[in-house]
Amino acid sequence: MPRTKAPSTPARTILRAPRSARRPEREHAAPDGTAMLRRWARHWLRTCREVPSRASRLLDRTERSPEKRIHDFRRLMKAWRSLLKLAPAALAGEARALRGEIKLLRQNFGEARDATVVAKTLEEVLPGRVNAAEASPPAAPVPREELAAVRATLDQLSAEMERWSVASEGGGFLLAAFKRTYRKARRRARHDVTEMGLKRLHAWRTAVIDLGYQLSFFKPADPAKLEPQEGAAERLRSHLGTVVDLDMAREHLSDAVPAKRREGAEREIARSIVKRRRKAARIADSLLDERPKTMCAHLAEGLASRGPRRIRFV
């Protein structure tokens, strides 16, 4: 009997559902703003606690000149002081006491710093007309006993901060404190910079220093906006600092410049002071143009959406 071919089975038609229908796309949840602010609060405390060990390492870097080590140490102390001004109300008293200790640490190296700055400033303003060796002899190595005392103080302050806690803080204290810093710098800039007395100018410079280091700390929250502002704050601080340094250097002209050239040197320093003040005024207009409420609203958005990262201050 001839073998008959089995009827072929009709192929099944498989209707594939659209990808969106088969597997709904996952919705990426927005970061929890409250949790992110708590991360920033913990990061603030961790950063403050790390400063003493960083400062000790700076003092141990013998490959650097004494002038460079002193300069870096003093800058790190300023950054530490500026960060401590962000402390929550529960730690305000402890932070204030700590800032007083930090001020004393900086003052330990103030005399060596001033001598170096005078020589450098005079040489920049009066190139070739300053006896730098007489204006500022090379800085001697910091005595071992003095370094030991500084390290002991750093260890003590570090131990005190180990008892601090921000577990009950939501992170809003950072925004409130930064708003105070920004408002203070903006308020002090209302006076005419070209006519501002040295005492008032120095106080404004202190506020600008605090603002610059705090902008550096918050920069990862909104780099596109805060990084240019950090740079502007650093330039403003530099110009204001040069005005103070020029005035201090003017008092040392008798030791650094011969008498017959002293009158011309004083005129040159006066012109440089006016020039720096004008530059500072222009930078302040752009840096501090935004209202504190608006500035902090932008910062709040950044802190709620982006996490912190470590920043090098020196």
**Average pLDDT of the segment spanning 251-266:** 76
Give the pLDDT confidence score for residue 136 in this predicted structure.
52
Higher pLDDT, 236 or 34: 236
pTM: 0.83
> Where does the pLDDT of residue 121 fall: very low under 50, low under 70, confident under 90, or very high at 90 and above?
confident
**Average pLDDT of the segment spanning 23-27:** 43
> Where does the pLDDT of residue 9 fall: very low under 50, low under 70, confident under 90, or very high at 90 and above?
very low
Give percent above pLDDT 70 in the chain: 82
pLDDT digits (tens, 9 = 90+) for 142-152: 677 888 899 99
Give the pLDDT confidence score for residue 29 in this predicted structure.
40
Give percent above pLDDT 90 in the chain: 57
pLDDT digits (tens, 9 = 90+) for 107-119: 877 666 666 777 7
Is the pLDDT score of 296 beyond 90?
yes
> Where does the pLDDT of residue 289 fall: very low under 50, low under 70, confident under 90, or very high at 90 and above?
very high
Mean pLDDT computed over every residue of the chain: 84
pLDDT digits (tens, 9 = 90+) for 130-172: 655 455 555 556 677 888 899 999 999 999 999 999 999 999 9
Tokens of 58: 């700076």
